[in-house]
């Protein structure tokens, strides 16, 4: 029972920001557009990432599809780490996707061990 509670707390901590940031990218939020323009990435890529984040977050909510949702995020997170490091955005910006990766790993481990 305690493992299930921990798992759902971890999932909530992951998917709520996933939905927020995914929707911001998908709808073309001003700040997201500014970031992608500064990095030189096309806006269609921003929308695609937003859709991937929303899809992955949704899949993580269901036991039967959680592994598929988890599988979407490592590529996104690796790209985020690369982008923040490449553009010299500081340790804080680079460490956020690293921390999120650790959270994703914890969700994965709790999922396969339960």
User: Taking the domains of the chain in order of start, what are their residue ranges?
Assistant: 2-113
pLDDT tens digits along 61-83: 999 999 999 999 999 999 999 99
pTM higher than 0.85: yes
Residue 78: both structure tokens together: 């690796």
CA distance linking residue 35 with residue 18, whole number of Å: 17
pLDDT score of 114 more than 90: no
pLDDT of residue 8: 96
Given phi > 0 = left and psi -120 to 50 = alpha, else beta, which region is 88? left
Residue 61: both structure tokens together: 């909510």
């Amino acid at each position: 029972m305690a493992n299930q509670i921990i798992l759902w707390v971890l999932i909530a901590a992951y998917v709520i920001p996933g939905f927020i940031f995914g929707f911001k990218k998908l709808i073309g939020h001003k700040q997201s557009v500014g970031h992608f323009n500064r990095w030189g990435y096309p806006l269609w890529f921003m929308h695609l990432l937003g859709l991937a984040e929303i899809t992955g977050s949704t899949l993580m909510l269901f036991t039967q599809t959680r592994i598929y949702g988890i599988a979407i995020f490592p590529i996104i997170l690796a790209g985020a780490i690369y982008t923040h490091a490449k553009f010299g955005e500081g340790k804080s910006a680079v460490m956020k996707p690293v921390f999120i990766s650790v959270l994703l790993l914890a969700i994965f481990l709790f999922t396969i061990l339960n």
